[in-house]
A and B are shown apart, each in its own frame.
Chain A
Amino acid sequence: MNNILEKLKKIDRRIIYFLVFLSIIIPLLPGFDFLIFPVPPTKETRAIFDEVEKLNEGDVVFIDWAFDPSSKAELLPMFEAFFKHCMKKKVRVFIYYASINGINLGKESVKKMTALEEFSWCREGENYINMEYIPITADIRIFNMDVDFKGTYKKEGKIFEGVETLKDINYILGLSGSVYHQTHIDMQIRFNYKFGLAVTAVMGPDYVPFLQTGQLTGLANGLRGAAEYERLVSDKYENNYYGSATKGMSSLTFSHLVIFGFVIMGNIVYFMDKKKRG
């Protein structure tokens, strides 16, 4: 018994890494789709979905992309599900990149989405627009939005018809893995726009107070939030739409269980050791 206790106390970290690796990788392998669990949508994520559902064809949605590839696993699925939803609703989508490292990731993602047969009718400058990046703060964009920042679509871009400032935008979704969107939340009080947020799971608790005050109309929290959104889009528009978030949730579930197991085991070892020493 003492021998086992000593071994558990000094367990090699590579064993822990290996078990975590297996718990992440196995559910993602082909043939393991049976490990996908249904994710019931929370009211926070549903609130974003419902706001988009209220929009009419031609209304304007602004996506503020403020994440780089490090947060790709959690936020890219949310972007894809949200963009898909917007296109299904045929609203105009403005995508601004607040992170310079996110531009190409975003453009490739949009290209992938619009290459789908169901969205073959989508045209840049008409149905959606990549507004590029320029180093400015949120308040500046709020006051001046009559052109994309390369100036390409000022005149010929049909998407800009009737859109000059933030007042002409019906819904804003921020995607970030940092406190970047705090400015948007602060200014929401002043300009009263509808603002939803999709953040990495680690940032989620920081924004719950703003959800309670009504400054945020919705909050998609991490990979789970994205999986919930995928399910909402799936339930409303198409059956069996499983995006990368839904698949990733099975991986997340098992890695959580492994960490949970290690925490419990660590505590058992700690108390046994304490008892042994008296």
Chain B
Amino acid sequence: MKKEIPILLGLIAGILWYGEFFIAGMFQENQKLFFSNGMKIAGVVGVLVGVYSVARQNYYKIKNKNERYYAILRVSMILLMVFLGLKSGTSSGTPFSSMFMNVYVPFQATVFSLLAFYIASAAYRSFKAKSVESAVLLVASIIVMLSKIPLGGEMWGQIPVIGEWIMDAPSSAGRRAIIFGGYLGSITMMIRIFFGLERSHLSE
């Protein structure tokens, strides 16, 4: 029964939710509310599972002297933010908000912005016309890159036009093919879950 009940629940919920997508007015408003509230509760429980998982992971790291100091720092920061949030809330102007805006935001933005430097270095060393295919890619990428900056149009009026064509035609066609493949895979997976053939989500 441990397996059958989740499979049955998945089948019923899947069919109902899928049906709602195609048949307008399949549910009354209060029935929709039942699903939406259920989803919210499931989401909140998911967050609790996440908190438990982080606490457990770090507990073992501290206990086993494996990256102990990083784990202590991580847990301390989490507890500090929880403390600040509980003490004075998370709204604007509170210590929690100040920590977030002045520590977390610059850290995360900095890590992401480092990409610009790596891309420049990697482009110099690797982006070379070693074959016809790579030459086509090189020319296309340079045109698209120039078409995205205001100076591109100033250099040659046709650069933005060609850049837009590359994005709208070849690039978009390739992307569309990937989307079709992805959705066919999703539909297959959905049917397998409906009929209990796919059980990886049940830890099997």
Contact = CB atoms under 8 A, between A and B. Distances in A.
Interface of A: 11, 13, 16-17, 19-21, 24, 37-40, 42, 68-73, 101, 103-105, 107-108, 111, 134-137, 139-140, 143-144, 187, 190, 201, 204-206, 208-209, 212, 222, 224, 249, 252-253, 255-260, 262-263, 265-267, 270
A209 B153 contact: no
A259 B120 contact: yes
Contacts of B96: 104
Given A108-B92, A136-B39, A209-B175, A259 B123 contact: yes
Contact of A111 (B92, B121, B127): B92
B109 A69 contact: yes
A105 B109 CA distance: 12
B44 interface: yes
23 contacts: A11-B124, A39-B150, A40-B150, A70-B111, A134-B43, A135-B43, A135-B46, A136-B36, A136-B40, A137-B39, A139-B17, A143-B33, A143-B36, A144-B36, A204-B167, A208-B175, A209-B172, A224-B148, A256-B145, A256-B148, A265-B124, A266-B124, A266-B125
Interface string B28-60: 000011011101100110110000000000000
A73 to B, nearest CB: 7
Interface of B: 17, 21-22, 32-33, 35-37, 39-40, 43-44, 46-47, 90-92, 96-97, 100-101, 104-109, 111-113, 116-117, 119-121, 123-125, 127-130, 138, 142, 145-146, 148-151, 153-154, 164, 167-168, 171-172, 175-176, 179
Contacts of B146: 256, 260
B120 A258 contact: yes
Contact of B33 (A42, A101, A144): A144
- Going nearest first, the 3 A-B pairs with the smallest beta carbon separation are A135-B43, A37-B150, A70-B112
Given A253-B150, A260-B146, A143 B117 contact: no
Interface class of chain B by DSSP: helix
A140 B108 contact: no
A17 B125 CA distance: 13
A134 B100 CA distance: 19
A204 to B, nearest CB: 8
Contacts of A73: 109, 112-113
A261 to B, nearest CB: 9
A104 B172 contact: no
Contacts of B153: 40
Contacts of B128: 266-267, 270
Contact of A37 (B47, B100, B124, B151): B151
Contacts of A137: 39
A263 B36 contact: no
Given A105-B101, A134-B43, 12 more contacts: A16-B121, A20-B116, A37-B150, A73-B113, A104-B90, A140-B39, A205-B171, A206-B175, A209-B176, A222-B148, A257-B149, A260-B146
Given A107-B91, A140-B36, A70 B124 contact: no
A262 B120 contact: yes
Contacts of B104: 69, 101
Contacts of A270: 128-130
A135 B44 contact: yes
A24 B39 CA distance: 45
B120 A249 contact: no
A69 B105 contact: yes
Q: Which of A101, A201, A263, A270 has the most CB of B within 10 A?
A: A263
A143 B20 CA distance: 11
B112 A256 contact: no
A107 B36 contact: no
A116 to B, nearest CB: 15
Nearest to B168: A208
A144 B36 CA distance: 7
A275 to B, nearest CB: 14
Contact of B123 (A134, A140, A209, A263): A263
B92 A71 contact: no
Contact of A143 (B32, B148, B176): B32
